[in-house]
Chains A and B, each alone.
Chain A
Amino acid sequence: MAVRVEMQDFDVGREIATLTTGRTDIGAIVTFTGTVRGQAKGRAIVSMTLEHYPGMTEAELARVEAEARARWPLDASLIVHRYGELKPGDNIVLVVTASRHRQAAFEAAEYLMDYLKSRAPFWKKETTADGEGQWVDAREADETALARWDEKPGT
């Protein structure tokens, strides 16, 4: 039930503990962590810079989270997205979903990732060893991933 946009790294174990300590109603916790790849189109990446739209980013993430909670019986959820300069291997994004049963937690985590990738106002710029920066293009596959949720009934 929270979204955070921040420069600092996150600790997955600590985030789960914060979300679930003292809770005995939860039976399933799913986490997704997105990390920086060291290669793009066959070229080595030395850093990735994430720009975002302060204010709108938090609002969009909260909207996406609210939609997931309306669709699945989640007992807890969290989205953390970093911005600023990151290195290969660094964490970028964390999604945690918790529910009584695993299916809701798995599906809601995928839904959150699909929607935040298409709606949260972040832009990635990759820098190669020669110092050249390249904005990452949006992938058509991400739009295709979104479309599958239209076919499923709400709630």
Chain B
Amino acid sequence: MRDAVADRAQGPMRMTLLYFAWVRERIGRASETLEVPERLLTVADLVDWLRKRGPEYEAAFQRPDLVRAAIDQQHVKPDAGIAGAREVAFFPPVTGG
């Protein structure tokens, strides 16, 4: 459950980002913990911010429509809010089964 007070915390948000499959390969790591500026409101904002971090991120997110996201292990859409998120994951459309 999200803590409503934490959602309004001041300053950068500390969150763990996880990458899977070719998103992981292009970025070159499976996870990292980052201080994310609080002005970023949605998953789409986070993707735009990550893309500016370097060519490996640009390569991973050059087609944002091909990258899916989960917040705290639940599938979300790009317009989902990230305030209070502890773990945000990015991955290609799933191909199990």
Contact = CB atoms under 8 A, between A and B. Distances in A.
A113 B92 CA distance: 19
Q: Is the interface of A mostly helix, strand, loop or mixed?
A: mixed
A125 B96 CA distance: 10
Contact of B96 (A52, A55, A59, A135): A52
Interface string A118-147: 111111110000000001111000000000
A51 B20 CA distance: 8
A92 interface: yes
Contact of B21 (A34, A56, A119, A135): A135
Interface string B45-59: 000000000000000
Given A53-B70, A53-B73, A53-B89, A123 B94 contact: yes
Given A81-B96, A122-B97, A123-B92, 11 more contacts: A51-B21, A52-B96, A56-B70, A56-B73, A93-B97, A116-B96, A117-B97, A119-B94, A122-B95, A123-B95, A137-B93
Interface of B: 18, 20-22, 70, 73-75, 89, 91-97
27 contacts: A50-B96, A51-B21, A52-B96, A53-B18, A53-B70, A53-B89, A53-B91, A56-B74, A60-B75, A92-B96, A92-B97, A93-B96, A117-B95, A117-B97, A119-B75, A120-B96, A121-B91, A121-B94, A121-B96, A122-B96, A122-B97, A123-B91, A123-B95, A123-B96, A124-B95, A124-B96, A138-B92
